[in-house]
Structure formats: C-alpha cells, structure tokens
Amino acid sequence: MAELQELGRAIAPLLPGAWRYNAIKSKDGNFNEWGSRAILTNDSIRGQGIGIGPYWNKHRFLKIGGLLPGDDWGRSQFTIGVSANRTPEAITGDIKRRLLNEYAAEWMKTQEEYFKQQKEADAWREKVELLDNIIPIYDGYSYHHEKLKRRGRFRFKYGFGNVYSEDFTKLELDLSFNQLVRVMVLLAKMEPD
C-alpha cells in the first residue's frame, strides 16, 4: 500500500493538467495489497480521476484505469497494464500515450449521461416530494412511510400510488364498484397531457 501511495505521488505531477494524488481507496474496506487503489484526481476537470492498483492475478503488474462520473472505483472500459518494476516516469509515459485520450473522450460521454440521469432523478424526487406533501400518511402506515417514499410508493386511503419515472406512474386502487365508476368517468373527462 505504501508503494501505491508513493507511486501515486510521483506520477500525478508528471501528468498534463492539474493532477494530484488524492487517497488510497479500498473496494471492500480492507486495505490490503489486492483490494486497494491509489486515486489521482484532476483539479482542472472536476470529477476526473485515475485509479492505480495491482492486477489480482499478475504479480508485480499494475492496472491503471480512468474513474467515471458517479464512480469511485474505475469502471472505465479503457484500462492499461504496466509492470510495477518500471519507473514513475515510464509509467506516466504509458498513461499519456495509451490511456488519457481514450479516457477523456469516454469521460465526456459518461459525464453527459450522468448529468442526464441526475436530472431525471431530481425530477422524480420532486414528484415524490409533491405527493408526500399532499397525501396524508395513512393510518397505521407511518412506520413504513419513509421506506415506501424512498421507492416512490405511497399508501393512501384507497390503495397505493407509485412514481416510477417522470412520465410513468401507477395506481393500485381498492374501490367499491360505485367508486370505480366515478374514477373511470373522471379519467374519461380528463384532457390528455
């Protein structure tokens, strides 16, 4: 682990841009020689990062890959392998030549998708909050209310309402026949969106 730390500190200033060594991260909380990565972050482009860690099945070999938006472990499809016996300068040269250009293009595409998903998630949360504010907690369901709310599901007097996405919701109603007829008539009179 100390080797990864030293290597990260040596490589970061040699990369183009404002790269710096950030931390050692562990996927499972166990900081051992196989489950840890040195994380480099690019201060000139928020969110860009590179993970450097050992290949689990190749002794003295490093796996170096880009970190994508919303990802702190390195699921970039662009990774390279280099010998851990090489100098930091030689490893930096490999990163520049074999990784950075492809990673930068993938990072931009992934960032756009990530922000789109964040926008959709924010719109979903707004709809869930709106329902939470107008639908009273049904008797006997206050304990489960927050758990259901996190999934976009609400229990109310006549059944359940679900918010799946910005454009898709579902009602599960427990109605008498007369109530069903009134709901169907009301829905028939509604203007389409």
Which DSSP string corresponds to the chain? Answer: -HHHHHHHHHHGGGSSSSEEEEEEEESSS--STTTEEEEEEETTSTT-EEEEEE-TTSTTEEEEEEEPTT-SS---S-EEEEETTS-HHHHHHHHHHHTHHHHHHHHHHHHHHHHHHHHHHHHHHHHHHHHHHHSPPPTT-HHHHHHHHHTTEEEETTEEEEE-SSS-EEEEE---HHHHHHHHHHHHHSPP-
Would you state the pLDDT for residue 90? Answer: 96
Q: What's the domain range around 159?
A: 135-193
pTM of the model: 0.62
CA 88 to chain centre: 31
Would you state the pLDDT for residue 74? Answer: 55
Using one digit for the tens of pLDDT, what is the confidence trace for 105-138? Answer: 988 888 888 888 888 888 888 887 887 777 766 6
pLDDT band at 95 (very low <50, low <70, confident <90, very high): very high
Residue 159 CA to residue 119 CA, distance in Å, equals 29
Percentage with pLDDT > 70 across the chain: 83
- Residue 127 falls within a domain, yes or no? no
Residues 159-186 have a mean pLDDT of 87
- Residue 114 falls within a domain, yes or no? no
Residues 9 and 88 in one domain: yes
Residues 156 and 83 in one domain: no
- Residue 21 falls within a domain, yes or no? yes
Say which residue, 1 or 102, is predicted with more confidence: 102
- Residue 168 falls within a domain, yes or no? yes
Would you state the pLDDT for residue 140? Answer: 56
Using one digit for the tens of pLDDT, what is the confidence trace for 14-57? Answer: 999 899 998 877 665 444 555 678 889 999 988 889 999 888 77
Residues 45 and 95 in one domain: yes
Residues 97 and 152 in one domain: no
**Average pLDDT of the residues of the chain:** 82
Would you state the pLDDT for residue 137? Answer: 62
Give the chain's domain count: 2
